[in-house]
Each structure stands twice: as C-alpha cells, then as structure tokens.
Amino acid sequence: MELDTSVESAADRQPSEVGAKQLLTLHCEQCNSVLGDSLGVCGQSAEHIMCVKVTNNVIISDEMKLELEGETTQCICSSLTCSGCVSALGRVVHAAPRHLEMLRSAFLLSRAKVKCYVLDSGGTVRSSDVTFDLKPLGGAMDEMTRQVRGHLGRMSRITTRWSRKDPCR
C-alpha cells in the first residue's frame, strides 16, 4: 500500500483538514482514549493515518526494530500502544531510507485500531471511512522564513547594541 507522499517529510508537513474542513479527534477503537486530532495528521494510506503529533495516551515502546516488510520496510521503528487498554496502535518511525524519508519521526496509527469523532456533528466514524485532505506547506513556509529572518535581524541589532554597552570591552 502506498503512502501519500505529496510533501517532503513528516517535519515539513502541514496540519491537515478532513474532507469538508471538519475537525476530528482520533480515539482508540478499544477504549476511546484520545490519541490525537486531525490537526496533527500529515499523511495517510489505506492502512495508516500518519501523524506528526499524538497525545500522551500513545505509549512508545523502548524497543527499536528494523522492519522487514510492509509500508515501513527498511525503517527502524518502535511499536505504539494505548495507555488505556494496551492495544497495539501502530508504530513510530525513527529512521528511514532516503526513499521513505517522509516517514521519519512520523507516528503511523493503524486505521483498524482508530476511530474518529467529528467535532461538528458529534458523531463517530471509522477511520477507514475518513480521507484527510493534505496540503503542502507552500505559503506557510514562506511566512515562517520571513518571520525567522525578521527575528534574526532584531537579534543582530540587539547584540550590536549590547556589545557597544559592554563595560568589559
């Protein structure tokens, strides 16, 4: 199954919207613990929802292993479990080969283990019925770059002022 790789990497992905701009929370199928929300979703496949962020209810195993098959073949991953019911939820990718670099640092929640609560309608849907609309960062990255450059300029001016006032010099 192919993962949606429309943008460069997990860290470069923008929080997404679901279908008609609906906000969802992601819950454990077994015990309803909140695992994340649609703002943290950065990718998807038929089997997984890819997230940049999950809640503390998602426990990351200390054990790392090299995956030998499936979507994360050749990736070093740790398994994820639910803190509420200890159900297996999926895996987090620590390292990935270049052709799967978009998976690095991503939490892959198994659709079979996750259900979604739609905030607008107050209804629960199977995560397998949800398609997340993913948008590349584009303008948001340009805006962030502009802000960082602004901060750097201000820091540079402050540093210059301090160095002129430094009595030790």
* Residues near Zn ion (CB under 5 A): 28, 30-31, 33, 82, 84-85, 87
Phi, psi of 141 (to 5 degrees): -70, -40
| 123-126, strands of its sheet edge to edge | 34-37, 24-28, 114-118, 123-126
Residue number with CB closer to Zn ion (18 or 89) = 89
> Please, what is the minimum distance in Å from the beta carbon of residue 86 to Zn ion?
7
> Please, what is the minimum distance in Å from the beta carbon of residue 95 to Zn ion?
27
Pick from 11, 4, 12, 2: which is nearest to 136 by CA? 12
- Please, are residues 137 and 12 in contact by the beta-carbon 8 Å criterion? yes
Residue number with CB closer to Zn ion (59 or 85) = 85
Residue number with CB closer to Zn ion (15 or 84) = 84
> Please, what is the minimum distance in Å from the beta carbon of residue 91 to Zn ion?
16
The sign of the CA dihedral 51, 88, 96, 62 is positive
> Please, what is the minimum distance in Å from the beta carbon of residue 28 to Zn ion?
3
